[in-house]
Structure 1
Amino acid sequence: MRPNVRRVVTGRMSRKFTVTHPATSDWQPAGVSNNRGVIYPADTDALQFAPEGTRLHDAIVVLAAKRMAFGDVVAWHDERWRITHLQDFSDYGYYYAVAVRTAEPAGPDSGGFADA
């Protein structure tokens, strides 16, 4: 039997972070919410859950107090991380997620082909 680690996820070692729910998500309305948890760099065990094309990107593991959704974007260390894998361990006091670094989308006119 696994112990309930809720006190770790919400305790002194945890940090607050924001979660953005994109408008393209079918799971919940678009918006921003606050969450709390422990975030650390992903190891090779965590990366086995990442989709094949995202394994080359930097990744993190999020142990969160509140439920998140596939495709949500976590703000951590001034970076944006898109959730690619989720597991519900709420019976043990947390939600597990793997997220990969995502860049801001390019604007409609980046100026890359502007006339000189």
Structure 2
Amino acid sequence: MPVDFESYHPTDLPDEDTNGRRILEFLADDPDLGFRPGELAEALNIPKGSVGTTLRRLEQRGFVRHKGEYWAINVEAYDAHTASEIGLHAVAQRFEGDYYDQNPDWDDDLPDIDDQARTE
């Protein structure tokens, strides 16, 4: 399927619901902190053996960095699109199931601010 080339922003982020994506989202929540693989495994309920392999793959792609045994997100590697994608996903998860999520037409009866501004 063709795409608008100028507006297309490819991402090499791991797919949603993968260990890589879960680790990135967790690290993105606290970009100034480093975590040991065991801490990530415990916090995310991921097998310890998977965490180390996943971190190395993410490092090869430039998403994470490490000092000794501590790993953190590589904020310098993110462009605005990638950071936005992770942030939006985290917000969506945080508010999943709230009133607005359960009522997708919540904004149907809101006044159109642009129309109001034109009539004033």
TM norm. shorter chain > 0.5: no
TM range, normalised to the smaller chain? Answer: under 0.3
Q: Which has the higher contact order (CA 8 A, sep 6+)?
A: 1
TM-score normalised by the chain length of structure 2: 0.23
Structure with higher helix content: 2
